[in-house]
Structure 1
Amino acid sequence: MRKVGIMSMQRIANYGSFLQAYALKQLIEEFDCKVEFVDYHVGAPVITENADSKNKFVRKVEKGLETFQYQAPFAHKLSFIRYKQSFSKKYMPLLEITDEMNYNPTLDCLVIGSDEVFNCIQKNSNVGYSLELFGKDNHAKRLLTYAASFGNTTLEKLEKYKKADEVGALLKKFDAISVRDANSGTIVEQLTGKEPVYNLDPVLTYDYMNRCDKIPQVQTNEKYLILYAYAGRISNDEADWIAAYAKKKNLKVYAIGGIQKCADRFVVCSPFEVLAYFRNAEEVITDTFHGSIFSVITHRPFTTLIRKSVGNSYGNEEKLSDLLNRLGLTERMTTKVEETEHINQQPIDYEKVDDVLQKQREIAKAYLCQSIGE
């Protein structure tokens, strides 16, 4: 049995990060492989301006204080802090991840991805600039990526911060490279001269709704709209509009993933229960990559709010435009929350979307089979 490692963002307390890691593990295990998650040493961030504190304890305190600054019910704030603090203890065992870090194990194959594993020009001190995410010092016979993303890192930023040559030299050592978006593909082509394979995020590639037996049934006695967004990203004006819109439609607002001013309920649940809540929702408003994906795989009416990147600030425009374009769902995007009312009334041809997914799943299976098994 081949020993395969996955190096991803698996330790981040985030539903999307967990579900993409779990999905990729399931996909690789289908090829009779023993899968383990591999950790990387965090480096100093390239962007030091307004960077998070490097001290873990200080960072936790800062995050806690930040939570209390958000406009949201006090009880929701306490629940949010408890959810963040308990996430790893509750859910990492489901990925067979322990507190002990797993650095540089000897493997038959190391798969780097999915998620924004190549997003190296940023200020997040949880990740920083780590060349191990580009395969440096690995102890694997084969090295490949799956649906890796540079996120907001562009070729221009790599050159500006003088990292392009270093990153390019490491990328050339990979046996196979798969990316999830056009920006990442362009960078790989420019730095290596080779065209990568394009694969969808594992949450789309692994057929959660038909193959995962861990998604429970959740019962609620009210109809609800899911607002899936990071805390602090929904403006007060947007929150007020969402509250009025939900009231007009006689829906409660369930916030998942982040606390929100307009939420009737902040839902604390397991990653698998998230999909159960999405499946039962009347509609969804999100400004996240995985919130859009959860809406798609549960066949919900949804609106995706687009945030533009300005300078070093973190936007979502590039990755969400790319994702929804690949799924033929660009009409679900808007920069104005008020357009939700019109967008969510428009039916989605999910039969057509599922056809796209089925083709992409076959492409992903062929890529993984060939790349791991060569």
Structure 2
Amino acid sequence: MKKAYILAYQRATNYGAVLQIYALKKVLESKDVKVEVIDYIPYWMKVTLKNQPSVLSYLKRKLMNRTFDSFFGRLGLTKESYYSNADLCSKLPEADYYFVGSDQVWNTNIMKEDISYFLNFAPKQAKKVGYAVSMGNNPIASTFLDDVKEEIKHFDAVSVREMYVSEFVSTISSLETQIVLDPTLLLSCSDYDAVCDSKKFNKEYIVVYSAMRDENLYSMAIKLSNQTGLPIINLGYHFKGAHKHEYFKSPGNWLNRIKQAKYFLTNSFHGTVFSILMKKEFYVVPNTSQPGLNARFVELLNSLNLENRLINTYDELLNKLDSKICFNRPLELLEKRKEDSISFINRVLD
């Protein structure tokens, strides 16, 4: 049996970050590949008082680390942890394939110009693959670009989530890139039953999940709550006006809350993903202060004929409140994109 490693943000206390690793691992395992996720913990991934904006933020992150622990166990992490690029180069056992991605693994604002995320530690004879890599619309600094160019030359294949990354790769290498789906969309809704909590909620509710602060989104949620009489369950980090806050709970709870929600409001890409997979009545609110962060979910919704779920005002939300989403065509389009994405993985493994 062939063996593959995945490198991403495996210790992030972020629902999308860990669920996309879980999904890519499951897809590769379905291809008869033994998969391990590299337990890479560089200094910037650790939650410390120094790298958090406040003591309260530090305590919240530490609490989330504890609630995520059980899910980390499902990722198939390497038995040994690695704390630097030198560790990876000297201590990591060899494998047949090395995957980096998905997620914003080439966003230098997150990974601090860590060359590890360009797989410089992989042996020459192994296949090096970028799957659905993203840069978060963030250009790579000229001081780091030469190192990046050198390592990308050694990749066997690169697929990306956004056109921005495809254009970047084409300017610095001869590699042809393919735009593919985030790994979370390669699985069906039922594939997540194994990690979704089974608790039943008897009363209807509204879920809010924001990946970035947005007062417009929060205002809409409060108005919708007042209109419907339903309580708000907050699964994100920033919103203060909910009836109940569950941002510190496990990925299993996050999935279950979305699955049983009456209405779902989000500005998150992965929130959008699971809205579609779970066929929820959902509304995506673009962020006006950081419009570059909207690209991922806007591209996804446009590709699936669901662009009408983008709303900017509460009046727009009200106009769509009673119009149920017909998911037949979007799921047909998703299946086609899924086939194309799986074909990329098949070509790499062959």
For Structure 1 versus Structure 2, the TM-score category normalised by the shorter chain is 0.7 to 0.9
Corresponding residue of 2:32: 32
Distance 1:335 1:117 in 2: 30
Corresponding residue of 1:11: 11
How far residue 307 of structure 1 moved from its aligned partner, in angstroms, is 1.9
1:371 corresponds to 2:344: no
Counterpart of 1:181, as a letter, is: E
Corresponding residue of 1:246: 225
Distance 1:30 1:99 in 2: 22
Corresponding residue of 2:241: 262
Distance 2:331 2:219 in 1: 34
Distance 1:85 1:141 in 2: 33
1:178-193 matches, within 5 Å, as 178-193=159-174
Tell me which of the two structures has the higher relative contact order, counting C-alpha pairs closer than 8 angstroms and 6 or more residues apart.
1
1:95 corresponds to 2:79: no
Distance 1:224 1:298 in 2: 16
Counterpart of 1:113, as a letter, is: G
Contact 2:206 2:262 in 1 (8 A): yes
Corresponding residue of 1:74: none
Percent sequence identity is 25
1:96-135 matches, within 5 Å, as 96-97=76-77, 100-102=80-82, 103=88, 104-120=92-108, 122=109, 124=110, 127-135=111-119
How far residue 344 of structure 1 moved from its aligned partner, in angstroms, is 4.3
Counterpart of 2:233, as a letter, is: Y
How far residue 40 of structure 1 moved from its aligned partner, in angstroms, is 4.7
1:152-167 matches, within 5 Å, as 152-153=137-138, 157-158=139-140, 161-167=142-148
Distance 2:302 2:310 in 1: 10
**Aligned-pair Cα RMSD in Å:** 2.7
Going from structure 1 to structure 2, the CA distance change for 1:337 and 1:289 (only over 3 Å counts) comes to farther
Going from structure 1 to structure 2, the CA distance change for 1:372 and 1:55 (only over 3 Å counts) comes to closer
Among 256, 273, 280, the alignment partner of 2:260 is: 280
Cα distance per residue 1:199-241 (max 9 Å; x no partner):
10111111133564343433223211110114x7032x65344
- SS across alignment from 2:126: strand
- SS across alignment from 2:95: strand
Contact 2:158 2:175 in 1 (8 A): no
1:137 corresponds to 2:121: yes
Corresponding residue of 2:333: 356
Distance 2:337 2:220 in 1: 37
Going from structure 1 to structure 2, the CA distance change for 1:261 and 1:216 (only over 3 Å counts) comes to closer
How far residue 90 of structure 1 moved from its aligned partner, in angstroms, is 2.7
- Unpaired runs of at least 5, structure 1: 45-53, 68-77
| Residues matched between the structures, number | 340
Cα distance per residue 1:63-104 (max 9 Å; x no partner):
44348xxxxxxxxxx8x5564231343321111236841434
Corresponding residue of 1:196: 177
Cα distance per residue 1:330-374 (max 9 Å; x no partner):
22223445533334444323111111222222222222122023x
Corresponding residue of 2:196: 215
Contact 1:42 1:128 in 2 (8 A): no
- Unpaired runs of at least 5, structure 2: 83-87
Comparing 83-92 and 199-208, the one that deviates more: 83-92
Distance 1:165 1:109 in 2: 24
1:307-322 matches, within 5 Å, as 307-308=287-288, 315-322=292-299
